[in-house]
Amino acid sequence: MGRMEGRVALITGGASGLGAEDARVLASEGARVVITDVQDDLGRAVAASIPGCRYLHHDVRDEARWEEVVAETLAAFGRLDVLVNNAGLVRFGTIEELSYADYKFQVEVMLDGTFLGCRAAIPHMARNGTGAIINMASVGGMKGISAIPAYAGAKGGIIAMTRSIAIHCREQGYRIRVNSIAPGGIVTPMTAQALAELPADDPGLQQNANHGMGEPADIAEMVLYLASDLGKHITGTNIVIDNGETIA
C-alpha cells in the first residue's frame, strides 16, 4: 500500500508545473486527487493522465467557489485529508513600475487564495480528526528582489500566515499540520515564461545560473513527505528547497 492510501488531496493550480507534479506523486502513493485551476483544457488533460483524478474549474479568489469545490470533493470522495495551496503567478515591475491592479491580482491569487483555502478546508479536516495543509511560498518571499514586490509580499505573507494557522490548529486541539514550502528556481512553464520577460542582466537570471534550476519532483516529494505520516511531527514550518540560494 502507498503512503497516501485512503486519503483525499485537493490541489490548486494543478493544471501544470508544481501542482500537476504534486498530483501525480500523491496519486502514485494511493491518494485520490482533485486538481483545480482556471486553465480548463490543461487541467482536464492532467486529470485524464492520472488514474482517479478529477478536475474542477476554480478561481481561488472566489470565496463562494471555495465552499463549492470543497463540497464537490466531499461529495465525490467523502473526505478531505490534504490541501495544497499551490495556485500562483508572477508579474514583474519594481515598486515604481508595477500597477496597483497587477499588485492586487497577485496578492489576491496567492495570499487571499491561501487564506480562503485554509478557512474552507479546516472545519472538514477537524471533523476527520486529522489533516495536512501545504502552502506554496517561495524564496522570493524571503529575500530582496526588486522586480517582484507584489509576489514577494504575497509569498512572505504565506509564510507568516502558515505559522499563525498552524498555531490556531494546535490551540484548538485539531490534529491538522500546516506548513509551507519555499522553492527556489524550478523548471515549470510559469517560470520559463517569467524568466523570458527579464532583461539579460537581471540579477534573478544570475541567481539561477549560480544555483541551478530544480525539477517539479524536488518539490512534489516534499509535498508527499508533509502530507503523509512521514511528516507527522512537522507543523508551522517553512521548508526551503533552493540549492543554497538563500544562504549565498
Residues annotated as catalytic are 151
| Grid cell of 116 as nine digits | 480562503
DSSP 58: -
d(CA 98, CA 153): 13
Q: What are phi and psi of 77, to 5 degrees?
A: -125, -10
d(CA 60, CA 169): 22
Residue 81 near residue 133, CB atoms below 8 Å: no
Q: List % helix, strand, coil for the chain (3-state, nearest 5).
A: 50, 15, 35
Residue 224 near residue 29, CB atoms below 8 Å: yes
d(CA 154, CA 133): 17
Residue 47 near residue 107, CB atoms below 8 Å: no
